Chains A and B, each alone.
Chain A
């Protein structure tokens, strides 16, 4: 059971919970409703009772009058027949279908299921038919029994319709007055008049006096005050139950007053009749005649009539009160019903709101989760996108759950996209690794082949090295001869170097002399410069002298001539100096050309000497090297032999290398297999990811939603 409950949708659970809450509420509501309804039903039962009790009361009253007339006997058969006809009419009114239905509803039927009224009617018709026959006493008893039976039927009716249990005090006391105390008064009045001769001037017989006084006293002491008290209570309490009834307050008091007055008059008359009767036993007559039996009977008739009027009016008012109460209860029931329905509608609407508010987002979340489970991440993302973005502060758990699922779908999408990309990358990388491994494998194969070649080559080198060692031995002896020849050449070069040194020394001496000549020529140049400067000074002097002579006028004329002569001499000296300068300059240029020529020659001689020395050195070096070659050839020979040995070692090492290359190739094959395995794993990963439908181009609702 609990397992089945656990699998129910939330909406159904909420529905069950609301039903569980609804049951006590409905019980309470129905209790309240039933309470009102029962009150209404009681009021209706009272109305039914009244519907039956009213004609029954009418019947009882008419029957009592007939009884009074019939019991008295004799004189007035017309009045008696008239009363009997009225009784018939009352019985006829009791056959009305509504009244009969009320009787059936109240359950007044006899043991045989027949209506008691029908039985009583049959009894009445028997009595009426047999009125002329039989003795008067039996008839009187039978009439009395019929009256009592009708009174009993009235009480049963009142009991069955719960009229005496009426909840409202006004109607309760009114019912008391109508069905208990007023009939009691009427019975008492009827009993008081029983057996009195109604002849005018007849007095109450002595035997009847105490009964009359007793009846009057009882009426005054018990029955009449009860009626008055009930009416008064009803009038007083009227305002407190379902509002004051205006017709009750207006109609009842006058009739009560009339009834009160009539009953008081009867009591007075009855007492007086009883007393006067007593006085009259001692005297001969009663001159005022007021207290004879006729007066008593007429006052009793008046009191009975007033009581009947009061009763009828009370019944009408009681009916009115019941109608008011029924209206009130009907309205109350309507109010309760409508309030209940309104509350039910409101709560149903709230339940529906909660259910929808919970189940719809949950359905969205569940759909999104299911889509993720089936691999449609893009669909889940779209589905979850309808969920509102959850805030951290959001207190609605459902909204937060929707937001979380939405973010989860986003994250899963991103993650799977990355995994997909990574898978593609791994595949590419694995392919590259495999390709590289194949290349390396090929390279290793090539290397192995090359190593084989190297091995062969090194064996060849070994063979040749051995040949070379023999050849080198022969070369060594040839070199020895060459060394001797070179030593001769070196001696000739030494001699040549000495000659070159002598030539250099001679050239230097010539050069020094030329330099001395050049120095002398420079000295002459300086002297010429001095002469030309003196000549210039002289020129300037003579110039100024000429100017001064001019300024001196005629006195300076001779001086001017001298000055001009000096100027001319100075010019000539200057020109001579210029000539000397030119000669000396040309000589200096010649000498310096000689010096330069000499310098060049000296340089050349020096270079030649250097060259000869260099050649000598080189030849010496060659000789030394040639001499040194002889022992080296021995070394070379040893080296060649060692090389042959090394070549053999190389050959062996290369063989090992070849083996290593083979191992490398094997390793590479293994690597290639591993790379293929990696590729396979990556393909599986990509295939797994491909199970998920992803949103790749769409930037996602994150942007639009955020």
Chain B
């Protein structure tokens, strides 16, 4: 099973490749007035306006620095009513993937009440990497924004 690794602040996170649509360079963003602080703006992904969410802001580590390795991870998830949603996560050090085969030790299950978006964690190179669930990771207001933009597309 393939995971895409990224950093938010000092911490390294993993994201299941199944929920990643594509990784694109950091493009110019259209600022969205009135949006939450974590939403840096809108950008066009293959003709579709998609909100870009700064995960560093979401995890409380401040805005992500503008580096070459800072990229946008296009993620998708299915809402409860079965409709598919798209969003862009701005993250740093999006340069590596890790493949966890069935032979590797299974990820330890985690159930944190304060961070329900962390599903599990595993060790990469001696570093503990929390695995993120996309649909729980995004706050409701951001998801509502995504819903609206998706509704506009539908």
Contact = CB atoms under 8 A, between A and B. Distances in A.
B97 A546 contact: yes
A540 B23 contact: yes
Interface in B17-49: 17-18, 20, 22-25
Give the contact-size bracket for chain A. Answer: 10 to 19
A430 to B, nearest CB: 91
A335 to B, nearest CB: 127
A551 interface: yes
B124 interface: no
Contacts of A166: none
A543 B17 contact: no
Interface string B43-77: 00000000000000000000000001001000000
B110 to A, nearest CB: 23
Contacts of A550: 1-2, 17-18, 99
Contacts of B25: 540
Contacts of B2: 546-547, 550, 560
B67 to A, nearest CB: 11
B11 interface: no
A544 B17 contact: no
Interface in B66-104: 68, 71, 94-95, 97, 99
Nearest to A537: B25
B17 A547 contact: yes
Nearest to A539: B95
A547 B68 contact: no
A551 B4 CA distance: 13
Contacts of A547: 2, 4, 17, 20, 22-23, 97
Contacts of A608: none
A543 B23 contact: yes
A540 B17 CA distance: 14
Interface string B96-120: 0101000000000000000000000
A552 B1 CA distance: 12
A536 interface: yes
A544 B18 contact: no
A551 B22 CA distance: 11
Contacts of B97: 543, 546-547
A544 B99 CA distance: 14
B63 to A, nearest CB: 22
B22 A544 contact: yes
Q: Which of B17, B18, B71 has the most chain A CB atoms closer than 10 A to its own CB? A: B17
Nearest to B71: A540
Contact of B18 (A543, A546, A551): A551
A544 B18 CA distance: 12
Nearest to A548: B22
Nearest to A547: B17
A550 B101 CA distance: 12
Nearest to B95: A539
A303 B111 CA distance: 189
Nearest to A542: B97
Nearest to A567: B97
A559 to B, nearest CB: 12
Contacts of A536: 68
A546 B97 CA distance: 8
Interface string A523-559: 0000000000000100110011011001100000000
A557 to B, nearest CB: 10
A550 B97 CA distance: 11
Contact of A544 (B1, B23, B68, B95): B23
Contacts of A539: 95
Given A540-B24, A547-B4, 17 more contacts: A539-B95, A540-B23, A540-B25, A543-B23, A543-B94, A543-B95, A544-B22, A544-B23, A546-B2, A546-B17, A546-B97, A547-B22, A550-B1, A550-B17, A550-B18, A550-B99, A551-B18
18 contacts: A536-B68, A539-B95, A540-B71, A543-B4, A543-B23, A543-B95, A543-B97, A544-B22, A544-B23, A547-B2, A547-B17, A547-B97, A550-B1, A550-B17, A550-B18, A551-B17, A551-B18, A560-B2
Interface of B: 1-2, 4, 17-18, 20, 22-25, 68, 71, 94-95, 97, 99
